[in-house]
Amino acid sequence: MPFYKSILPPSLPNQVLQFPSMASSETLIFSLFLLSLISHTFSQHPTPTPTALVLPISKHPSALQYTTTLTQSTPPSPLTLVIDLSGPLLWLSCGSTHHSSSTSKLVQCHSPHCSLLPHSNKNCHKHKNCILLSKNKFTQKVSAGELSEDILSVQSTNGLYPTSIVSVPRFPFLCLAQESLPLGLATGAKGVAGLGHDRLGLPAQLAHAFNFSRKFAMCLSPSADAATGVLFLGDGPYAFSPGIDVSKLLIFTPLIHKSGTYSFEYFIKVKSVRVDGKNLPLNSTLLTMISTVHPYGILESSVYEHLARGFIEAANANRVAPVSPFNVCFSTQSENGGLMRPAMPVLDLVLQNEEVFWRIFESNSMVPVGNDTTCLGFLDGGPNPGASIIIGGHQLEDNLLQFDLVSSRLGFTSSLFLRQTDCASFNWH
């Protein structure tokens, strides 16, 4: 039995079998022949297994969180979920509506899905059901929930546009009681879609269900209006208007596992940082985390001080009073009253060698906070923010990132503006 179910129109053979009661032998023979022909056609052209899936990504204007929409349960119910790039799995605030699903069931201890959980995070010696502790990254609170399964439906894609809707009958997720759900999610969100490199994460589970490559690509749009970013689950092509396959533009660097910990985050190594081509005086390789939970970049204090000083020295603009939560802000007004606004420095994160770097332009390094003010989009995270550098959502916008979980590497494009496209240019129609 396949791992998925495709949503198809009503079957034609059922219509053919409605024979008249007094049918002639010729009519009967012809009808049987037609039925045989249709059955042969269907057997020769089965519904293809999808090679990739696609989900929309929206930006919540006040929470500065990125959300996507899935369909779950029987009858089908749309779910708005906040994207957590480092989340271990999909978790929901279930409430009474979840229990009305005819296809929902709790996962028992020692079942295949429960066995995928790290032993330290599950509680099976006292409970029949698989109990899991989960941390909400947006509030840092921990809640207990029951591992559950239900049907999950998503759109498949050929990389150019969405094709059909396919379903996974028993998709695992963590069910949190309504009253135990911590606050902190965007308005309307029912839970979190975890994209972390765990076996219960959304990318690994969907790749297993449809037997496609354990890769996914994320492209966040900065607009909180109608513009929609995109999440691809599976390999490319990743096509954006006007006919650009962005998967051909990727630059690759290794993904690093943080030693001594059981973590779901994605890390890369940054060997040096350049501001307008000038190396900052940083002593060692910087462990760098990629995050959708943090709206802006976060730096360990010493790294922040060097970066802020580098921008102040290189920026061809006047400093102005800081605007919370930022510390370094500049005027965007021209000094002589002309139309040309001051240029901001280019930031390079140098990776495995001097020739491989992630270039961050003004649209991703600076945050406009008014008509005449822009601020450095990195915050001082203190002495131990979790990584020397945390690349936040603002730095990721209009960059396509591919996470290859098999080869353990990150592909990135830098700003898609250089290619005359952006993350809102996927063809959804």
Summarised one tens digit per residue, pLDDT across range 66-123 is 999 999 999 999 999 999 999 999 999 886 455 688 999 988 888 888 888 766 556 6
Q: For residues 40 and 395, give the distance between their C-alpha atoms in angstroms, rounded to a whole number.
A: 53
pLDDT value at position 9? 38
Contact 365, 415 (CB under 8 A): no
pLDDT value at position 181? 55
Residues of the chain with CATH 2.40.70.10: 52-236, 244-419
Q: Residue 417 to residues 221, 248, 396, 406: CA-CA distances in angstroms?
A: 12, 16, 13, 29
End-to-end CA distance of the chain: 31
Q: For residues 356 and 372, give the distance between their C-alpha atoms in angstroms, rounded to a whole number.
A: 34
Which DSSP letter does residue 339 get?
A: S
Mean pLDDT, range 381-386, rounded to an integer:
94
Q: For residues 182 and 186, give the distance between their C-alpha atoms in angstroms, rounded to a whole number.
A: 12
Q: Choose the weakest-confidence range: 61-65, 136-140, 219-223, 333-337.
A: 333-337
Q: Which residue has the higher pLDDT, 131 or 30?
A: 131
pLDDT in tens, 138-162: 888 888 888 999 999 999 999 999 9
Q: For residues 106 and 94, give the distance between their C-alpha atoms in angstroms, rounded to a whole number.
A: 12
Q: Is the pLDDT of residue 395 over 90?
A: yes
Query: pLDDT-derived band of residue 18, with 50, 70 and 90 as boundaries?
Result: very low
- Identity of the amino acid at 318: N
pLDDT value at position 243? 93
pLDDT value at position 177? 75
Q: For residues 25 and 271, give the distance between their C-alpha atoms in angstroms, rounded to a whole number.
A: 82
Q: For residues 227 and 5, give the distance between their C-alpha atoms in angstroms, rounded to a whole number.
A: 30
CB atoms within 10 A of CB 58: 22
Q: For residues 95 and 318, give the distance between their C-alpha atoms in angstroms, rounded to a whole number.
A: 53
Share of the chain above pLDDT 70, in %: 82
Considering the segment(s) 52-236 as one domain, its CATH architecture is Beta Barrel (2.40)
Residue 177 has which token pair? Answer: 């009681």
pLDDT value at position 23? 42
| Angle at alpha carbon of residue 60, lines to 54 and 61, rounded to 5° | 140
Q: For residues 53 and 154, give the distance between their C-alpha atoms in angstroms, rounded to a whole number.
A: 7
pLDDT in tens, 175-230: 887 655 556 899 999 999 999 988 899 999 999 999 999 999 999 999 877 669 99
pLDDT value at position 184? 87
- Identity of the amino acid at 241: S
| Residues near 198 by beta carbon (within 8 Å), at least 6 away in sequence | 88, 89, 116, 204, 264
The SS3 call for residue 145 is strand
Q: For residues 369 and 373, give the distance between their C-alpha atoms in angstroms, rounded to a whole number.
A: 6
**pTM of the full structure:** 0.86
Q: For residues 38 and 13, give the distance between their C-alpha atoms in angstroms, rounded to a whole number.
A: 7
Contact 100, 106 (CB under 8 A): no
pLDDT in tens, 249-271: 999 999 998 766 668 999 999 99
Q: For residues 356 and 51, give the distance between their C-alpha atoms in angstroms, rounded to a whole number.
A: 30
Nearest Cα to Cα of residue 427 among 157, 166, 69: 157
Q: Is the pLDDT of residue 28 over 60?
A: no
Q: Is the pLDDT of residue 40 over 50?
A: no
Nearest Cα to Cα of residue 230 among 72, 80, 414, 69: 69
CATH, domain 244-419, list 3.40.50.620, 2.40.70.10, 3.40.50.300, 3.90.1170.50: 2.40.70.10
| Residues near 26 by beta carbon (within 8 Å), at least 6 away in sequence | none
pLDDT value at position 138? 85
Q: For residues 221 and 236, give the distance between their C-alpha atoms in angstroms, rounded to a whole number.
A: 19
Query: pLDDT-derived band of residue 36, with 50, 70 and 90 as boundaries?
Result: very low
